[in-house]
Amino acid sequence: MRWDQLFDDLEAQLGAEERRERDSEIADRTRRERASVELAARCAAAVGERLRLRLVSRTQVQGELLDLGDDWLLLRLETGREAVVPIHAVAGIVGLPLRASAARTARRFGLGYALRGLSRDRTPVALTDTSGQVLTGTIDIVGADSLDLSEHAPEESRRTENVRGRQTVPFAAVALIEAR
């Protein structure tokens, strides 16, 4: 009778040890999998969701994530306007799912390509730089790593008489570009 109790106790201890090892293995695999997930993959899983972005310009924007590229996010803001946010300008995101999306991926084109569309359409924009300064106008030229913005009031069209000046802004200094 004592042997039965001893063997039952040993078997219970062995079972508990096996469960601890299995749980440890699962936790380790989970950590390794999460370590390989890139931000863009998690953002892709959030398309259609509302996010709040804290930007390096010390501002926050929130809205529905509509699309994303290699280095940019497209949001529909609460105002109904759409805005492009370079990934490098994001200091934090609230509302991002923990898991990545296998079904959806980021578009293969970068920020410059996306901005060329705004330039081509002559869309007036409000550009917030990383210092928090807001410039309004029309993007005239999009280069490999910068853009030229003809500054004018947001309610005015880009006509020579309305242009107050032109600024070249490096992509690295762009925090937000809101289409007007």
Residue 36 pLDDT: 63
pLDDT band (50, 70, 90) for residue 98 = confident
111-125: per-residue pLDDT in tens? 999 999 999 999 999
d(CA 68, CA 42) in angstroms, rounded, equals 11
Paired sense of beta strands 90-94 and 82-86, if any: unpaired
Q: What is the pTM of this model?
A: 0.80
Residue 1 pLDDT: 61
Task: Identify which has the larger pLDDT, 143 or 21.
Answer: 143
* Ordered structural domains, the chain, with CATH: 37-180 (2.30.30.100)
Task: Identify which has the larger pLDDT, 3 or 103.
Answer: 3
d(CA 175, CA 20) in angstroms, rounded, equals 47
Residue 16 pLDDT: 86
- pLDDT average, residue stretch 16-44: 79
pLDDT band (50, 70, 90) for residue 20 = confident
Is 21's pLDDT higher than 90? Answer: no
What order do you get walking across the sheet with 90-94 strand by strand? 90-94, 50-55, 60-68, 72-77, 82-86, 174-179, 124-129, 134-142, 146-151, 165-170
Q: SS3 for 42?
A: helix
d(CA 87, CA 9) in angstroms, rounded, equals 56
When the pLDDT of each residue in the chain is averaged and rounded to a whole number, the result is: 91
pLDDT band (50, 70, 90) for residue 26 = confident
d(CA 177, CA 163) in angstroms, rounded, equals 19
d(CA 83, CA 126) in angstroms, rounded, equals 9
- pLDDT average, residue stretch 34-51: 86
Q: Among 116, 160, 161, 155, which residue's Cα sits nearest to residue 139?
A: 116
d(CA 82, CA 14) in angstroms, rounded, equals 59
d(CA 13, CA 123) in angstroms, rounded, equals 70
* pLDDT above 70 coverage of the chain, percent: 95
Is 53's pLDDT higher than 90? Answer: yes
pLDDT band (50, 70, 90) for residue 30 = low
d(CA 130, CA 13) in angstroms, rounded, equals 59
Residue 25 pLDDT: 79
